[in-house]
Structure 1
Amino acid sequence: MADQQPTPGQRVERLRRAAGLSREQLAGLAGLSPTTIKFVENGRRSLTLRAAQQIAPHLGVRDLGDLFGPQVTLSLDGRPSHPAIGDVRRALTAWHISVSGEPESPDYLRGAVDSAWQTWHTSRHQRTEVSVILPGLLAATQRATRLHTGEDRRASLALLAQAHHLAQAYLAWHGDRELCWLTVDRGMAAALDADDPLAIAQSTWYAAHLLRAVGRGDEALERLQEARGLIEPQVADGGSEWAEMLADLHLCTALTRARTGDQGAWSDWDAARRVVEQALPAGFVGLRTRVSRPLVDVYAVMCAVDLGDPDEAQRRAHSLDPASIPSTERRGRHYVELARSADLEGAREATLHLLGLAESTSPETVRYSPAAQELAGRLAREAPAAIRAEAIQLESRIAVPEL
């Protein structure tokens, strides 16, 4: 029909060409993979609000209606949110002007932080369970930094940074962006005040994930390189926690590069693999990070998917037993990555099956994952008739309840 409106993908392609950009160039500027741009343009992937916000500045777009068309109504307030986010927000924005009494010891706080991370990695409903713990943990660590002095204060500051990292993990995918930035800033400030290289490096790791998510991948890579410079000299003599941190920094760098279509991601992935194999004990699993050989393999699948290579993703996943992944949350995310890989190949039945496995592993991982939500919504609309009813049921089960 002559008056048929162009699809969002067609609008993106037209504006990209008008701006004189290749798919690779636009992807690099926006912090997306070239495959994502390609699939949005050819209609194999929906244009999400998040992706639109990342590419709009580079296409000269100020009104997102120019991408979605006049028939699409956009709500900027409809981001899925967790019921306890108000409690966490209040804990993060509470200012205790005066504090008194005896603070909790660093050893006690370390045990509380480690227990909270253990809950995050072992619960199927990690956000709900951690949200019960977080407000008290933030209050106790903040109070300790105010009341302790000397080495106890430095230790408490490093643990306060960890509490903020857990808050960032909780807020990822459903917290408002300003609150996420607040946790990053508070965590980094505490780590720098502690003057603890491990705490600073881990704060950088968390900051890099947020920088990458908002299209500042180059800045994330610079910060990660600086953090590796803090850690690498200590690995030989510093014990497993230094090697664990170095491996995690390399994995974060690999994923950041993969999401901009940089094949150099495999070099950093291989560096992480060598650190885990050569500098960490056999069977090692990081308590808070879950760095381990299975996690390295999980990142290989993630990198392959973000590089738009489903064959490589499936090859990397072939020998990885999901049961070996030492985190329920990461196992659920792994199934989502496999679903993304199946989607790249147009395998709708496999995509639905893998999303179902992700949901049964960790319902909240799927409920608050933008990638899982986008896949489930598209399957509910476009899946073959034979599986459409099942796809609609899945979308209904993982829908975020109205608050």
Structure 2
Amino acid sequence: MNDQFARMVGDRVRFYRTAARQTKTVVAGLTGITPDYLYQIERGQKLPTIPVLAQLAEVLRIKPGDLLSAEPIAAPRRASNAAGDAIYRAMTAPTTAGPARVSDLGRQVCEAWSTWQTSGHRYSELTTDLPELIATTDATVRGTSGKHRRQAQSVAADLYGLVRTVTKRIGRVDLSLLAADRAQRSAEQADDPLRLAGARWNLIQVMLADGHAQAAEDEAMKALTELQAALGPDHLDAVAMSGALLLLAAVASVRAGDAWTGRERLRQATPLAERVGDCNVCWTAFGPTNVAMYAVSIEVESGEAVEGLRLAAHIDHERSLSIERRVAFLLDQAKGYAQRREFAQTLALLTTAETDAPEDVSFRPAAHSLIRTVMKRGRRTEAAGAVQLANRVGLPV
């Protein structure tokens, strides 16, 4: 019971801190505790004393009862351009941040990735903390040498992979490309073939988002060949990473107008997924569930909505390790129903996505496009429901 209560209090502290757009260091300092103690409170590992709880409430400008109430809390509004600007400054401007222990830094990056892949409010939770984490990581890389420096570069590669996906989702493709490049350079300095393949996987994501499908496919297949040469067929993490690269190559083929090659890439990935199971190598969430979801994406993107929806009916999307993939799967189905002009089902899937991850519906252009489609083409009740959804997620009507 105490553990559950501690997690509830921690969730609320983190919610109100991120809603106020304050870093852990600032809030901890004003509260009179260490950043590590605040970190443990937010993760539900420590239950704050009453004096600390009262001081946290004062710093966050809320009532102490707000941190204890069992009532649901509303999602904060969309992150503004200020979030992207703060990340940009952290990536480009000199910093006064001090280095951290590499093991502690690695734990923080893993926690940040976990938040990104599991929290429905991941945008507001991460965009506040990322600038500080970037600055600390850069200082740690500069302040270490030898084996420890390679370990720090590995952590930096993981962090910049996260920065890539976050900045992409908040509409900063320029920062997404910069982060992907940083991840690749860090992986090279770490002399880690697996992380280098993961960094290239991130770069391919940027290329796909930027409309360079053929270049993305070429890069995916080149990265796949080099990874297999470096680590061999018996390295299970390399097998999973190979499968993740094949899935991106499949999507790239479809977007380049070659659906049959896309399906062939998917077939090549299937036995790899069966071999490794659902796993999360380099945070790619590769495995049988992800392959099945990509099969739906490929059919819907090819205009084969009936086949895509048939495949989707047999998938338990909750088994995916990543909320991002789960939401993408729901949006793929919504797109399939929109292609069939079945807008009631489209709206129902959008509403499910909003329930699971409200901020994703606020940020994803694919969700915005589907909402507008239902508003314009749906029946009166469907259009009205889409308008209500648009208002809830902050999309101009």
Normalized per residue, the structure richer in helix is 2
Residue 316 (structure 1) aligns with: 311
- Hey, what's the Cα distance between the residues in 2 that align with 1:393 and 1:376? 10
Gaps of 5+ in 2: 1-77
Residue 154 (structure 2) aligns with: 158
1:194 aligns with 2:190: yes
The answer on whether the counterparts of 1:118 and 1:288 sit within 8 Å (CA) in structure 2 is no
The answer on whether the counterparts of 1:81 and 1:175 sit within 8 Å (CA) in structure 2 is no
- Hey, what's the Cα distance between the residues in 1 that align with 2:255 and 2:148? 40
State the Cα deviation string for residues 322-369 of structure 1 (Å, max 9, x = none).
222222222122111110011111111111111111111111111111
The answer on whether the counterparts of 2:79 and 2:124 sit within 8 Å (CA) in structure 1 is no
Counterpart mapping for 1:280-295 below 5 A: 280=276, 282-286=277-281, 288-295=283-290
AA aligned opposite 2:85: G
- Hey, what's the Cα distance between the residues in 1 that align with 2:306 and 2:383? 26
- Hey, what's the Cα distance between the residues in 1 that align with 2:322 and 2:144? 34
- Hey, what's the Cα distance between the residues in 2 that align with 1:307 and 1:362? 26
Residue 341 (structure 2) aligns with: 346
Mark the CA change 1:289 to 1:323 in structure 2 (over 3 Å): closer, same or farther: same
SS in 2 for 1:84: helix
- Hey, what's the Cα distance between the residues in 2 that align with 1:351 and 1:82? 30
Residue 86 (structure 1) aligns with: 85
Aligned residues: 317
Query: Which residue, 214, 218, 228 being the options, matches 2:214?
Result: 218
Gaps of 5+ in 1: 1-78
- Hey, what's the Cα distance between the residues in 1 that align with 2:193 and 2:348? 43
- Hey, what's the Cα distance between the residues in 2 that align with 1:212 and 1:284? 23
- Hey, what's the Cα distance between the residues in 2 that align with 1:246 and 1:215? 23
The answer on whether the counterparts of 2:278 and 2:286 sit within 8 Å (CA) in structure 1 is no
- Hey, what's the Cα distance between the residues in 2 that align with 1:307 and 1:125? 31
Counterpart mapping for 1:267-306 below 5 A: 267-278=264-275, 280=276, 282-286=277-281, 288-306=283-301
Mark the CA change 1:235 to 1:129 in structure 2 (over 3 Å): closer, same or farther: farther
- Hey, what's the Cα distance between the residues in 2 that align with 1:273 and 1:106? 36
Q: Post-superposition shift, 1:135?
A: 1.7
Residue 242 (structure 1) aligns with: 238
Mark the CA change 1:149 to 1:215 in structure 2 (over 3 Å): closer, same or farther: same
The answer on whether the counterparts of 2:160 and 2:179 sit within 8 Å (CA) in structure 1 is yes
- Hey, what's the Cα distance between the residues in 1 that align with 2:172 and 2:373? 24
Q: Post-superposition shift, 1:223?
A: 1.5
AA aligned opposite 1:269: L
State the Cα deviation string for residues 201-238 of structure 1 (Å, max 9, x = none).
11111111111222222221222122112222324333
Residue 21 (structure 2) aligns with: none
Structural RMSD (CA): 2.2
Larger RCO, structures 1/2 (Cα 8 Å, 6+ apart): 1
Residue 13 (structure 1) aligns with: none
Runs of 4+ in structure 1 over 4 Å off: 79-83
Q: Post-superposition shift, 1:241?
A: 2.0
Q: Post-superposition shift, 1:382?
A: 2.6
Mark the CA change 1:117 to 1:80 in structure 2 (over 3 Å): closer, same or farther: closer
Identity of aligned residues (%): 29
Residue 370 (structure 1) aligns with: 365
Residue 177 (structure 1) aligns with: 173
Mark the CA change 1:80 to 1:384 in structure 2 (over 3 Å): closer, same or farther: farther
Q: Post-superposition shift, 1:286?
A: 4.1
Mark the CA change 1:367 to 1:184 in structure 2 (over 3 Å): closer, same or farther: same
The answer on whether the counterparts of 1:92 and 1:138 sit within 8 Å (CA) in structure 2 is yes
AA aligned opposite 1:195: D
AA aligned opposite 1:236: P
The answer on whether the counterparts of 1:124 and 1:329 sit within 8 Å (CA) in structure 2 is no
Q: Post-superposition shift, 1:251?
A: 1.0
- Hey, what's the Cα distance between the residues in 1 that align with 2:212 and 2:383? 38
**Range with greater deviation from structure 2 (186-195 or 150-159):** 186-195
- Hey, what's the Cα distance between the residues in 1 that align with 2:395 and 2:108? 29
Counterpart mapping for 1:247-266 below 5 A: 247-262=243-258, 263-266=260-263
**Range with greater deviation from structure 2 (189-198 or 364-373):** 189-198
Counterpart mapping for 1:106-145 below 5 A: 106-145=102-141
- Hey, what's the Cα distance between the residues in 2 that align with 1:137 and 1:243? 30
AA aligned opposite 2:93: A
SS in 2 for 1:236: coil
SS in 2 for 1:261: coil
The answer on whether the counterparts of 1:212 and 1:256 sit within 8 Å (CA) in structure 2 is yes
Q: Post-superposition shift, 1:193?
A: 2.5
State the Cα deviation string for residues 36-93 of structure 1 (Å, max 9, x = none).
xxxxxxxxxxxxxxxxxxxxxxxxxxxxxxxxxxxxxxxxxxx995653232222222
Counterpart mapping for 1:49-68 below 5 A: none
